A and B are shown apart, each in its own frame.
Chain A
Amino acid sequence: MLFQSWILIIALCLSGGPLAAQTNLDSRQQVDLTPSAIRHIQERHWPDSPALGAGKYAPGITVDALRELIQQTVANGRVRQNTNGRPGQIYEYDFGRPIGTRINGGPATRLRVVVSPRNKVVTAFPF
């Protein structure tokens, strides 16, 4: 019995185990959406924003819904290093349904979230 328990513990350690997976998920989930970041996103990507050449959220979006979209993207999306020498990371997630419009006017099903090394959301937009 003792031998079997040790085998189980070693197997969990080698596979990363549920504890390791949870720790990784937790670190992904801790991003900070500041009032300044919300204003930045609203100015460029809200349905009534006049900014051209930027993806827009679907009409009816709220700050709470934005938080939820960001949360899901950071928890479940593909992650890559930011590009062009910019510090931080980019998370992208395909919701499989329209969440807004792309810059060409077509439906956007994906969200891109840019996160700084301090885990602050810098921007988030549909594409």
Chain B
Amino acid sequence: MHLDYKLSENWEADAALLDEDETTFRYRAAPGDILLRGPEADFSTEWGWVPLVDFVLALRDIVAKLGRGERETNFEFTESEATLQFLRKGEEVHLTASYAPGEIKTPLSELHDSVHRVAGRLKKELAAKYPELAKHKLIQNLE
């Protein structure tokens, strides 16, 4: 399984975002696309608006739930009805998407490591490109 992200090149961070509440920050900060594919399916987006801080925080939450024994959980995209479904089967997680065919199977440990690796990279990239924005507690807590 390959998990990564692509930060939108058109986005200009607005300092006013720092004064917004947590929900608004999650829906607006760092838009881009997710790259998510396996040998038999590609759930990558080409929408340009997926808020990446929110995506990483949500995936971290999902991995923690699956790790605690929850069998099934969903990721809801912020600006559409599209979803990703996560189904735990033993030590594996099976991913499906409402907007693309196929299934991605990955060990839970690999999903965990991928999410934390992406979180670290995103935090570093945001700190380099948007140092003021990166002071926000949600970005600070990415790792």
Query: Taking beta carbons and an 8 Å cutoff, which residues of A are in contact with B?
Result: 36, 40, 44-45, 51-55, 82-88, 102-103, 112, 114, 116-118, 120, 122-123, 125, 127
Contact = CB atoms under 8 A, between A and B. Distances in A.
B80 to A, nearest CB: 5
Interface stretch (B24-32, B88-96, B106-114, B116-124): B24-32
B12 interface: no
Interface residues of B, number: 28
Given A53-B99, A117-B21, A127 B27 contact: no
Interface of B: 16, 21-24, 26-28, 45-49, 54, 57-58, 61-62, 74-82, 99
A87 B21 CA distance: 9
Contacts of A103: 80-82, 99
Contact of A116 (B21, B45, B47, B74): B21
A112 to B, nearest CB: 7
A85 B81 contact: no
Contacts of A87: 21-23
A123 B20 CA distance: 14
15 contacts: A40-B28, A52-B47, A53-B45, A55-B80, A84-B76, A86-B23, A86-B54, A87-B21, A87-B22, A103-B81, A114-B23, A114-B27, A116-B21, A116-B24, A125-B80
A120 B80 contact: no
A46 B123 CA distance: 31
Given A53-B77, A84-B62, A125-B80, 7 more contacts: A53-B79, A55-B79, A55-B81, A86-B26, A86-B58, A103-B82, A114-B78
